[in-house]
Amino acid sequence: MKKIFILFLFLSFSAFAQKQMPNVTIKSVNNKRYNVKTDFSEEDKIYVFAFWATWCAPCINELDAIKEHYSEWSKELNMEVVAVSIDDSRTQRRVKPLLNGKNWPYTILIDNNQDLKRALSIVNVPYTVVVKNKKVVYVHNGYSQGAENELYNKLKEL
């Protein structure tokens, strides 16, 4: 019985830990430091953290698909997409050239030590975390064509 109680407590604290963004600071492609908990905390604004990598075709497809609607979505919903690259030291040099060709209108962060990825227990990309009022309100793993519409519908509910 004691083991069950301890397991229950662990799961409760684990679930609670995932309800807020962690207090992690990472850099942008321009070397500006951002704390994901405090710098993306405007009240009632929706932040979509899209985790991606240069070697991940579904990630790039997802960010391209969101870009097609981003202007209208951000006006209608008071939202911002923050694209977080999890490229490590071997592939990080590919980030800027890829971004030059994409012209994404997002805030681009680079989680080169994967601190944020670990803090959120992310295993695979693409991985999307939606935050509103400093709380994680929606999480989605993977991407298939049309999934951006599902994301939009979820965002409208917030």
What pLDDT is stored for residue 14 in this prediction? Answer: 40
- C-beta separation of 87 from 94 below 8 A: yes
Say if residues 141 and 58 touch (Cβ distance below 8 Å).
Answer: no
CA dist 129 and 125 (Å) reads 11
Looking at residue 94, its amino acid is R
The predicted-structure confidence for 105-157, as pLDDT tens digits, reads as follows 999 999 989 999 999 999 999 999 999 999 999 999 999 999 999 999 999 99
Instruction: Provide the token pair at 28.
Output: 């942008």
